[in-house]
Amino acid sequence: MKLTVLASGSKGNASLLEFNDKKYLIDCGITYRQLKLRLEKQGKTMEGLSGVFITHEHRDHTSGLRVLLNHHQVPIYLSEGTFKGLDKRYTGPIDESFIHFLREEEIYDFKDFTLIPFNTYHDAIEPMGFKFIEANKSFVYMTDTGYFPLRKYDLIKNATAYMVESNYEAEMLLESERPWLLKRRILDDQGHLSNEDSANMMTEIVGENTKFIILAHLSEDCNMPMVAKDTYEVCFKAKSFLLDQYQLIIAKQHISLDEIII
């Protein structure tokens, strides 16, 4: 299983996940041109794309779908609620024979891997995160969630790799010039995870198999990579964890990350 994070943040999200000769996009919130350019920088192409997983309908996760689907007639995997919420300005008309609805916590066999989707908590219609399993390795992709319930921790515990939201630093958000209604939306249980909330959650979820923690969807205005990393170090130390035993990676908005072999 190989992961290439192409973009992560409020201006667009997209990642490429590869299993043997199969390629899948997770979200498509940047232009087709940018998808190709960022993949080329990593020595990859869009040729042979096998499908697209969509977490939710917001523009920063779907704005590139219309042009992508003009070039690649591939299956789209998403919740029924997300499909109903798609903005046709960004998707164009979609042949519904390519649409595959996912249901929470059902197990899907893709031959090369197993998928378990799960609900996240965001101001979207039916947002989802994904757990991908290949042999004895697993990858959990969870962004855009205001919290994640303790009762569901077992579902995503002890994965090999996590791509998890660490959106804002609370004081930076509260002191920002953003409108109060926007601040409340972000702080809400249907908003986004702060650095501290993200780190404290991860101390309860990582296990002996965990190798990678990728921090995603960092706010460009209300967060900084070093602030997020420092918060993780403080929270992990408080729980008697050594953050150094994991490879902590910060996903970027405008630059693709090097391939991660999970």
pLDDT in tens, 100-130: 999 999 999 999 999 999 999 998 999 999 9
Compute the average pLDDT of residues 79-88: 94
CA geometry: angle 149, 83, 46, nearest 5 deg: 100
Beta bridge partners of 164: 142, 215
Reduced to 3 states (helix: H, G, I; strand: E, B; else coil), residue 139 is: strand
Quick check: 141 pLDDT over 90? yes
Could you tell me the residue ranges of all domains in the chain? Answer: 2-261
Give residue 178's pLDDT.
77
Q: Is 130 exposed, middle or buried (0-12, 13-18, 19+ CB in 10 A)?
A: buried
Q: Which own/partner contact pairs does 111-114 have at CB distance under 8 Å and 24+ positions apart? A: 112/19, 112/20, 112/22, 113/1, 113/19
SS3 247: strand
Checking if the pLDDT of 90 tops 80, the result is no
Instruction: Compute CA distances 47 → 50, 71, 75, 172, 257, whole Å.
Output: 9, 10, 15, 42, 20
Residue 7: enclosing H or E segment and its boundaries?
strand 2-7
Rounded CA gap, 134 and 144, in Å?
A: 24
- The answer on pLDDT for 151 being more than 90 is yes
In whole numbers, what is the pLDDT of the chain averaged over residues?
Answer: 93
- pTM (2 d.p.): 0.94
* CA atoms of 5 and 215, how far apart (whole Å): 11
Contact 194, 167 (CB under 8 A): yes
Q: What is the mean pLDDT of residues 217-231?
A: 95
Q: What is the pLDDT of residue 201?
A: 96
What homologous superfamily does CATH list for 2-261?
Ribonuclease Z/Hydroxyacylglutathione hydrolase-like (3.60.15.10)
Q: Confidence band (pLDDT; 50, 70, 90) for 9?
A: very high
Q: What is the largest CA-CA distance in the chain?
A: 52
Burial classification of residue 180, based on how many CB atoms lie within 10 Å of its CB (0-12 exposed, 13-18 middle, 19 or more buried): exposed
pLDDT of residue 118: 98
Tokens of 81: 């609620």
